[in-house]
Amino acid sequence: MNLHGRDIKIFTANSHPALAKVMAEYLGLPLGKSEVSRFSDGEISVNIGETVRGSDVFVVQSTCDPVNDHIMELLIMIDAFKRASAGRITAVIPYFGYARQDRKSKSRDPISAKLVADIITAAGADRVLTMDLHAPQIQGFFNIPVDILLGAPILSGYYLKKIEEQGNQDNIVVMSPDVGSIARARNFATTLNVPLAIVDKRREKANVSEVMNIIGDVDGKDIVIFDDMVDTGGTLCHAAEAIKNAGARTISAAATHAVLSGNAIRDLENAPIDELVFTDTIHLPPEKILDKMQILEVGHLFAEAIARIYSDKPLSPLFKRA
């Protein structure tokens, strides 16, 4: 492609090359020639194997585990493109790490999401493209444009197809796993045209939650627990246990980002959850994939967004469809 004097190139670091390849193939482009490796002392080495002078460069990197390594790879690649006279650099970050550190919860806490935003900007990024920021206000931490794609249309498309096949819409209830997720769960329930229920819990400390009570009717229902991410799985597993004890018939859980840290895989495997539905914003190795998981592909959505950014067209049409 060549538009307004610039060609378009897609590069990837090491966090999710397969997703970057899907994006490039969807656009009919080869993946850019680059290598991100380590020196013997652990420092990151970046080698760009083709010219990017004047190009519209998109560098794909989810900042997932190991978070700090992947952030540094992204920063060094951006710096390399900047110094190689790229025309415009877009950081494509399907999963944005540090997004939960968006405010001070107690005295002397850092606001790490703001720091990461500043570093990405300082490295030379002209724009950021991401999906389902845990805290959407992080957009305001950047002094460059930030486009946030939504995973809900892809996830809702999966469930709408199941409803059409099974004809069980009257029995489905969407569940918010906590009060903080009510808005996104309500929108998801509205899309599926089903009722909303809420798990009210009290969090005693980070990554530990205690379920208090359930608001809504779940007895004999097919429950879909909806959230933006699953990290340790504690919130999800506790919610599933409470819902099962309240008489739910089946339990499905859907989230955009499968972080799955700590003992998440073991706990999710043992939890009373019949199905787990994630998108592939984060690469999952074989040992983190369970038989009851469904992984939905988001590369085509990012590819369409990249094409629209390159062509200076609005992204809003992408928010309402998978």
What pTM was estimated for this model as a whole?
0.93
- 14 & 129 share domain: yes
Is 268 within 8 Å of 276 (Cβ atoms)? Answer: yes
- 6 & 146 share domain: yes
| pLDDT for the residue numbered 167 | 83
Q: Is-catalytic flag, 201? A: yes
- 129 & 164 share domain: no
- 219 & 82 share domain: no
Question: pLDDT digits over 274-310, tens only?
Answer: 999 999 999 999 999 999 999 999 999 999 999 999 9
The rounded mean pLDDT for the chain is 93
Which one of 9, 201, 221, 288 is the catalytic residue? 201
Number of domains comprising the chain: 2
Confidence of residue 178 (pLDDT cuts 50, 70, 90): confident
Least confident of 9-18, 66-75, 194-203: 194-203
Residue 39 half-sphere exposure, CB side, CA atoms within 13 Å?
A: 6
- 144 & 7 share domain: yes
- 100 & 189 share domain: no
Q: How far apart are CA 135 and CA 146, in angstroms?
A: 13
Question: pLDDT digits over 33-60, tens only?
Answer: 999 999 999 999 999 999 999 999 999 9
- 167 & 288 share domain: yes
For residue 28, give its domain range.
Answer: 2-151+299-320
- 70 & 207 share domain: no
- 8 & 107 share domain: yes
Question: pLDDT digits over 138-150, tens only?
Answer: 999 999 999 999 9
CATH number at residue 239: 3.40.50.2020
- 210 & 274 share domain: yes
Mean pLDDT of 119-137: 95
- 145 & 9 share domain: yes
| pLDDT for the residue numbered 64 | 96
- 10 & 92 share domain: yes
